[in-house]
Amino acid sequence: MKARHLLLAIAITAIWGANFSVIKLGLTSVDPFILAGIRFTLCALPAIFFIAKPDVPWRYIVGYGLVFGIGLWGVVNLGIQSGLSAGIASLVLQFSAFFTILLGSWLFKESISRFQYAGMGLALCGLLSIVSIVDGTVTTAGLTLVLLGAVAWSAANVINKKAKTTQVFAFLVWSSAFSPIPLFALDYAVNGSTGYSALVNQLDYRAVLSILFQVYPNTLFGYWVWNSLLKRYPVSTVAPLSLLVPVFGLFGSAMIFNETLSLNKIAAVVLIVSGLGVRLYGQRVVSALLKRTDRCPS
């Protein structure tokens, strides 16, 4: 990978990691579902008028919009509001990689390798490390909600796989159009008009910056750049860089909210990122070592 493309990819992972702290800033004055609803409204509009519908059936566009918008980001927003720190949320959400493996095994009869099992084992140890944190940055409700968000993300990945679209950016824009109305309706069903009254009376510059950051650098620009890199380079070159997202997530939370990086949190990062690394690279590393051993003279 060229140096400028590597730096660009790292910048995107930094944006995605910082986004969790940016979401938390927005939640100080905007309800979780409303915040997600505004985000996806601006992801769809006005771009949808200039980008052709992707050549996939409507059920995939609608399904992805509902799962990605409500099941993932609506629920993650709620989890952060429920007391889970932005840094821990960015880390826990990485469990979607393992839930995707399990869903793929169930739906597509894909076999699970011993390296994937090992990766899941390491990640579960990391989750236990998170559960043991007692500094107020982890709540049972928040942790449960973000784990549910990770399940939703894996379901969104399955929908994306079944759609088989190469028009990823158009797919994102058009599917975003189906997230806002259910999100706004959910907030009204739960909170009545309270959230909308607060939006009018309490909206501040932090919420506005939070929304703009989530829409443009994080979603539209981030996904456009990432998928452009995936077209230019092998997935095996680009995908591992996403392991930096929780690292930047914790760093951003420490910088913005003074979140303490305790030994348990560092252990959780090491274990979960290592689990993801084993999942991605375990087979290749062992194969490379075996080839090198075969080449060595006896």
Report pLDDT digits (tens) over 104-121: 787 777 788 888 888 888
Residue 115: inside a domain: no
Tokens of 90: 């960015």
Spatial neighbors of 127 by CB under 8 A, at least 6 apart, are 92, 95, 268, 272
Spatial neighbors of 290 by CB under 8 A, at least 6 apart, are none
pTM for the structure as a whole = 0.87
**Lowest model confidence (mean pLDDT) among 39-43, 78-82, 271-275, 287-291:** 287-291
What is the count of structural domains for the chain?
Answer: 1
Range of the domain at 147: 3-103+140-262
Residue 193: inside a domain: yes
Mean residue pLDDT across the chain: 88
| The residue type at 39 | R
- Cα separation, 98 vs 119, in Å, equals 8
**52 C-beta neighbours (distance < 10 Å), count:** 10
Residue 109: inside a domain: no
In this predicted structure, the answer to whether residue 292 has a pLDDT above a threshold of 80 is no
- Cα separation, 65 vs 52, in Å, equals 16
- Cα separation, 60 vs 125, in Å, equals 35
Q: Which tens digit of pLDDT belongs to each residue from 194-237?
A: 999 988 888 899 999 999 999 999 999 998 888 788 778 776 66
- Cα separation, 210 vs 219, in Å, equals 12
For residues 204 and 211, is the Cβ–Cβ distance under 8 A?
no
Burial of 274 (0-12, 13-18, 19+ CB in 10 A): middle
Residue 270: inside a domain: no
- Sign of the alpha-carbon torsion through 34, 242, 99, 56: positive
Give me the pLDDT at residue 239, please. 67
- Sign of the alpha-carbon torsion through 110, 116, 117, 122: negative
**194 C-beta neighbours (distance < 10 Å), count:** 12
Residue 292: inside a domain: no
**179 C-beta neighbours (distance < 10 Å), count:** 28
- Phi and psi at 82, nearest 5°, equal -80, 5
Select the more confidently predicted residue: 165 or 282.
Answer: 165
Q: Which tens digit of pLDDT belongs to each residue from 144-176?
A: 999 999 999 889 888 888 888 888 889 999 999
Number of H helices, E strands in the chain: 16, 0
- Cα separation, 135 vs 133, in Å, equals 6
**Lowest model confidence (mean pLDDT) among 80-84, 114-118, 245-249:** 114-118
Select the more confidently predicted residue: 103 or 190.
Answer: 190
**Lowest model confidence (mean pLDDT) among 3-7, 11-15, 123-127, 239-243:** 239-243
Burial of 259 (0-12, 13-18, 19+ CB in 10 A): buried
For residues 70 and 39, is the Cβ–Cβ distance under 8 A?
no
- Sign of the alpha-carbon torsion through 171, 67, 185, 195: negative
**204 C-beta neighbours (distance < 10 Å), count:** 13
Give me the pLDDT at residue 135, please. 85
- Cα separation, 235 vs 237, in Å, equals 5
Residue 221: inside a domain: yes
